[in-house]
């Protein structure tokens, strides 16, 4: 009997111990939605934001003041419109034209919502790279020339539009006449690889010849022969003219180091080149041009405008400007009506 009681007592203790063990292994309560959200935030998972989000690819040919200002104006206009709902993939080709194609192809692969092509080679690369993603050009002088469109009527059509930096070339020729009425020979210096530069010198040459000047074109293929070509132009000319040319804009120090010691004045197509090596220009605000392009982009992204029907837009105003330091160095007196470049 005592042996039976001992066995029953041992069995009772075992059941009690097992019950305690099973209690500690009970499944935990499923986390609430609030707990899941907190856990996701701790892991770095972002909750979705309201409204549309856009990614804009920016392909800029080269870094210099004019193109930089256009890009900044473009970004500022879109940021003002969309705030943090828009982001930019900004790429610079560092003056290498084939790199523009590489950049654009990456944008196409990434399926960006819109492409800004800053300068003619960037626009040409974008045109070749996609026929579906909207493309806006800026700092492009003549779209018909850049895109090989005969009888261009002001609207590209398809997936391309943008803004032009073309200042009135007849008025630029008048600046040469106003400042250097006694000069006889004008050297037109430009990069032959830039179609819009060729267009500008061809056009301005006609206006200069109407004013009585003898003109000769001096083209360089790239920065490697810029020095030798510029030196030849200096030796054979009374004054030089350089259009809105990206290669020249990226090498103004080279040009100035040749022209200033020779007392050779240079009239140029835009303010950035003038600040580097020119004496005077009829220029636009590239920042304002970028802002105008950004406003066009906002309309496209919001679905308010069809890019296929958007005409090319032009700068609303032009300003006569001069490089006071260089004018003083060359002994050139600038008449009233010009603003000093700051």
Give residue-wise pLDDT tens across range 227-238: 999 999 999 999
Residue 266 to residue 268: CA distance in whole angstroms: 6
pLDDT, tens digit, 9 for 90 and up, residues 301-316: 999 999 999 999 999 8
181 and 59 in a common domain: no
Residue 150 lies inside a defined structural domain of this protein: yes
Closest CA to 285 of 170, 169, 78, 139: 139
Stated as kind and residue range, the H or E segment containing 125 is helix 120-129
259 and 243 in a common domain: yes
214 and 183 in a common domain: yes
Residue 98 pLDDT greater than 90, yes or no? yes
Which structural domain, as residue segments, surrounds residue 148?
54-165+285-311
Number of domains the chain is built from: 2
Residue 9 lies inside a defined structural domain of this protein: no
Residue 44 lies inside a defined structural domain of this protein: no
Residue 41 lies inside a defined structural domain of this protein: no
241 and 102 in a common domain: no
Residue 151 lies inside a defined structural domain of this protein: yes
Residue 207 Rama label (left phi>0; alpha psi -120 to 50; beta)? alpha
189 and 82 in a common domain: no
Instruction: State residue 171's pLDDT score.
Output: 96
Q: Report residue 52's pLDDT band, with 50, 70 and 90 as the boundaries.
A: low
Residue 334 lies inside a defined structural domain of this protein: yes
pLDDT, tens digit, 9 for 90 and up, residues 160-190: 999 999 999 999 999 999 999 999 999 999 9
Strands (E), 93-230: 114-118, 135-140, 160-164, 185-191, 214-220
Q: Higher-confidence residue: 340 or 2? A: 340
Residue 72 lies inside a defined structural domain of this protein: yes
221 and 185 in a common domain: yes
Report, as an integer, the average pLDDT of 110-129. Answer: 97
263 and 192 in a common domain: yes
Cα-to-chain-centroid distance, residue 287: 10
Least confident of 18-27, 74-83, 329-338: 18-27
Residue 30 lies inside a defined structural domain of this protein: no
301 and 225 in a common domain: no
Instruction: State residue 342's pLDDT score.
Output: 87
Residue 149 pLDDT greater than 90, yes or no? yes
CATH of the domain at 216: 3.40.50.2300
238 and 92 in a common domain: no
Going 170 to 249 to 126 to 53, the CA torsion angle's sign is negative
143 and 59 in a common domain: yes
103 and 76 in a common domain: yes
**Do residues 282 and 168 touch, judged by C-beta distance below 8 A?**
yes
204 and 100 in a common domain: no
């Amino acid at each position: 009997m005592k042996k039976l009681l001992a066995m029953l007592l041992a069995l009772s203790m075992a059941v009690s111990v097992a019950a305690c063990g099973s209690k500690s292994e009970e499944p935990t309560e499923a986390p609430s939605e609030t707990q899941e959200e907190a856990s996701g935030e701790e892991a770095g998972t972002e909750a979705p934001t309201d409204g549309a989000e856009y990614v804009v690819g920016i392909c800029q040919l080269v870094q210099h003041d004019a193109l930089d200002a256009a890009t900044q104006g473009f970004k500022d206009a879109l940021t003002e419109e969309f705030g943090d709902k828009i982001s930019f993939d900004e790429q610079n080709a560092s003056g290498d034209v084939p790199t523009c194609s590489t950049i654009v192809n990456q944008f196409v692969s990434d399926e960006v919502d819109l492409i800004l092509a800053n300068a003619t080679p960037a626009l040409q690369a974008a045109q070749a790279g996609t026929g579906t993603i909207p493309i806006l050009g800026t700092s492009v002088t003549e779209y018909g020339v850049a895109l090989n469109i005969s009888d261009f009527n002001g609207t590209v059509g398809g997936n391309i539009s943008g803004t032009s930096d073309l200042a009135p070339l007849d008025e630029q020729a008048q600046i040469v006449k106003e400042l250097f009425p006694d000069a006889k020979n004008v050297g037109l210096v430009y990069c032959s690889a830039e179609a819009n530069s060729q267009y500008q010198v061809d056009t301005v040459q006609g206006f200069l010849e109407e004013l009585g000047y003898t003109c000769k074109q001096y083209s360089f293929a790239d920065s490697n022969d810029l020095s030798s070509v510029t030196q030849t132009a200096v030796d054979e000319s009374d004054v030089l003219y350089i259009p809105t040319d990206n290669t020249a804009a990226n090498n103004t120090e080279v040009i100035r180091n040749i022209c200033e010691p020779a007392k050779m004045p240079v009239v140029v197509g835009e303010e950035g080149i003038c600040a580097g090596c020119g004496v005077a220009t009829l220029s636009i605000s590239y920042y304002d041009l970028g802002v105008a392009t950004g406003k066009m982009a906002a309309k496209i992204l919001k679905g308010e405008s069809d890019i296929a029907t958007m005409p090319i837009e032009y700068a609303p105003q032009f300003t006569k400007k001069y490089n006071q330091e260089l004018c003083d160095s060359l002994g050139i007196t600038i008449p009233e009506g010009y603003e000093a470049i700051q």
